[in-house]
Amino acid sequence: MFSISLRKAPEGFLTQADIRHISKGRRDLFAGAFKTALSGMALASLPSLAKDDPNIMELPAHSKGLGQGVATNPYGVPSQYEKNIQRRESPGLTQVTQAGVSFCPLQSLFGIITPSGLHFERHHQGWWDIDPTKHRLMINGSDEKMLKRPMVFTMDELLRMPSMTRTHFIECGANSGMEWGNVAVPTVQYTHGMLSCSEFTGVPLRALLELCGVDFKRAKFVLAEGADGSSMTRTIPLSLIQNDEVLVAYGQNGEMLRPENGYPLRLVVPGVQGVSWVKYLRRIEVGDMPYATKDEVIGYADLMKDGLHRQYTSIQEVKSVITSPSGGQVLLQKGFCNISGVAWSGRGAIKRVEVSVDGGRNWRVARLQTPVMSKCLTRFQIDWSWGGDASLLMSRAVDETGHIQPTYAQNRAVRGSRGIYHNNSIQTWLVEQSGEVKNVQLS
């Protein structure tokens, strides 16, 4: 048995998730068509439905007139009907817009790729649109023995090199951070929205280090440094770089990085927390010790139960969340309801996702959308028929290394409840009898 803590959302949050513009009538048509299709009577019933529907019987302007001209939008933008699908700031987190976060609207996305304009943002000192002709990347050693030829690269030089393209998730280490202390933020956008997934293109860092003549026997770590005012600096172990996964990236989803995401150059460190994906990357130093910079000491260290901190816990462990139905959404009717969500692991590919609709008593294995890629979001779905009772929806992911997503009780037993970082606990959504979906925790 468990008890449910239904937690009050802090002030100022948009508590309704984006609800797509599906009118009641349109939903009824879909639901009706679905049921009749199942019983093999779709053809008999559709004509009468159609006769009553002015959206079918009356020709709309767009079927009669001339549409808009080619290239009226030289750079395409979303439909006017999708305006409420936006990145949003959390009123609870910080009031300083330059050093803030905007969360990705996970509840409104399909598949695994985050549209570049909806990628979450985390800036420690605001974003810049840096002139790529003036941007430089310097690679140096902590002393001459570490690296033979310190070099400076222009963007042109980097773009001329052979490139690699890989699809990976990026998750801020503080994602789901407010939930540690049992503060209920109302929607999945705020609970899990410091998460995005893109196709990145760039040059493997290892290739650049080889060009500079790094002594791989001596060197153990690199320090990556950003060009913005925050001087974001992070230590990355060389062992992560050897396999060519770490990219000095300029491409995101087929075009150049967006300014908010580090244009013209950022580090891509698959599986590792977002803070190490240094944006506006201007310098890499090679050394033999972790650097213990300000961004590794005053933040991004995990506060444990006994008051000590864990440092350099950079891997994003296995995690998943149901994005639909999720907090703030409303089930409009009983019956068939597709449950859909995403799963990911910083250790490799997702092996299995299980879903429970009864608070974890029973679990069923969800369908995984292929391709299932390493250190990348994986979309899962499962059929569900909602009978109208209160239901507790949960998802639990397992990765290829055998790691299983833990419950809150398991995580808190080891790590307490005062931390911010690396919360990969199982998320629960309560579907109330009214159809309203709420963020709850089970204990």
Ligand X SMILES: Nc1nc2c(c(=O)[nH]1)N[C@H]1C(S)=C(S)[C@@H](COP(=O)(O)O)O[C@H]1N2
- Residues interacting with Mo ion, by CB under 5 A? 122, 172, 274-275
* Residue with smaller CB distance to Mo ion, 379 or 422: 422
Least Å distance between CB 123 and ligand X? Answer: 5
Which of 223-231, 236-244, 353-361, 365-373 is the region at the interface with ligand X (rule: CB under 6 A)?
A: 223-231
Q: Binding to ligand X by residue 88, rule CB under 6 A? A: no
Q: Binding to ligand X by residue 130, rule CB under 6 A? A: no
Categorise residue 400: left if φ over 0, alpha if ψ from -120 to 50, beta otherwise. Answer: alpha
Residue selected from 261, 323, 345, 374 as contacting ligand X according to rule CB under 6 A: 261
Picked from ligand X, Mo ion, none, the partner binding residue 88 (CB below 5 to 8 A depending on kind) is none
Least Å distance between CB 295 and ligand X? Answer: 8
Q: Binding to ligand X by residue 192, rule CB under 6 A? A: no
Least Å distance between CB 174 and ligand X? Answer: 7
Q: Binding to ligand X by residue 277, rule CB under 6 A? A: yes
d(Cα 320, Cα 230) in Å, to the nearest integer?
Answer: 31
Least Å distance between CB 359 and ligand X? Answer: 31
Residue selected from 7, 35, 124, 352 as contacting ligand X according to rule CB under 6 A: 124
* Residue with smaller CB distance to ligand X, 123 or 396: 123
φ, ψ of residue 105 in degrees (nearest 5): -75, 75
Q: Binding to ligand X by residue 248, rule CB under 6 A? A: no
Strand partners, 318: none
Residue selected from 17, 232, 382, 394 as contacting ligand X according to rule CB under 6 A: 232
* Residue with smaller CB distance to ligand X, 13 or 120: 120
Residue selected from 280, 291, 386, 429 as contacting ligand X according to rule CB under 6 A: 280
* Residue with smaller CB distance to ligand X, 232 or 366: 232
Picked from ligand X, Mo ion, none, the partner binding residue 279 (CB below 5 to 8 A depending on kind) is ligand X
Least Å distance between CB 358 and ligand X? Answer: 35
Q: Binding to ligand X by residue 251, rule CB under 6 A? A: no
Least Å distance between CB 46 and ligand X? Answer: 45
Q: Binding to ligand X by residue 109, rule CB under 6 A? A: no
Picked from ligand X, Mo ion, none, the partner binding residue 277 (CB below 5 to 8 A depending on kind) is ligand X
**Which residues contact ligand X by CB under 6 A?**
119-124, 172, 226, 228, 230, 232, 260-262, 274-275, 277-280
